[in-house]
Structure 1
């Protein structure tokens, strides 16, 4: 999988369509969650595209400190269902953390994680802060990765 980083205004129309399609397939259809995915935040984000055979199979979006949370953040972490067995979730997270540090320096990273993925994020040194909440009807937890 090749990982590319793009600002919103550098995405092609096809890339934008494909990343929104992937997010919809997983977050809306697979997880059966009706929510407003297109939230006017994509314009401020850096977009990491995990591409395999000319297709986006993994994705995250990254925000600078203060653009979404007080700290830098990584969100919309998604891997196409048929591609999860290859560890692309870990690959895209490692790349996302690196992009945060390369663009914003050594900084705290905050994420809003689906609760069932706590161990996944702990593998990337994120720590549960103790805050649990429902977001769009799905149990979430706040996690922080210290510098």
Structure 2
């Protein structure tokens, strides 16, 4: 694992400072729209109700995810907008980001599965965190994706 020191910060949109919100949205736009050449509505209306998990080194944003609470009694929590700053790739931050995001979901929404929509080329990455593919491949914003689900961990006997 990388020796990069980071802090984990989980906040609602209203709890982010304007500068922190700007940094997060800029990173998402730089990666999802510009780098991936995907013109789609990044601002999809889900951010105001979500929690935003960020990995920070001081004030510098290293990576972030969006966590959406389960909408119904049997629904999963949802991790989305998984992004690592291009300046910090290759430092295993994606692994740390997913581990922290899963831990946050398990703490905030115990006994709930966790769902995500994975770009198909990252299916093995997410599988390494216990996610199972639960759909056929489909196009989302012209990028192949699959739905994945991480079941609730079984209690030790």
Q: TM-score, normalised by structure 2?
A: 0.89
Q: Which residue of 2 aligns with 1:131?
A: 136
Q: Which residue of 2 aligns with 1:121?
A: 126
Q: Which structure's residues are more often strand, by fraction?
A: 1
Q: Which residue of 2 aligns with 1:142?
A: 147
Structure 1 stretches of at least 4 aligned residues deviating more than 6 Å after TM superposition = none
1:22-56 deviations in whole A, cap 9, x for unaligned?
A: 00010001101001001110011110111124211
1:34-84 deviations in whole A, cap 9, x for unaligned?
A: 0100111001111011112421120001011118xx321000000012212
Q: Which structure's residues are more often helix, by fraction?
A: 1
- Is 1:82 paired with 2:87? yes
* SS of corresponding position for 2:62: strand
Match of 2:97 among 92, 98, 102: 92
Gaps of at least 5 residues in structure 2 are 1-5, 153-157
Whole-angstrom CA distance in 1 between matches of 2:58 and 2:107: 27
- Give, in angstroms, the shift of residue 130 of structure 1: 3.3
Q: Which residue of 1 aligns with 2:155?
A: none
Whole-angstrom CA distance in 2 between matches of 1:3 and 1:131: 33
Rg larger for? 2
Residue-pair matches, total: 146
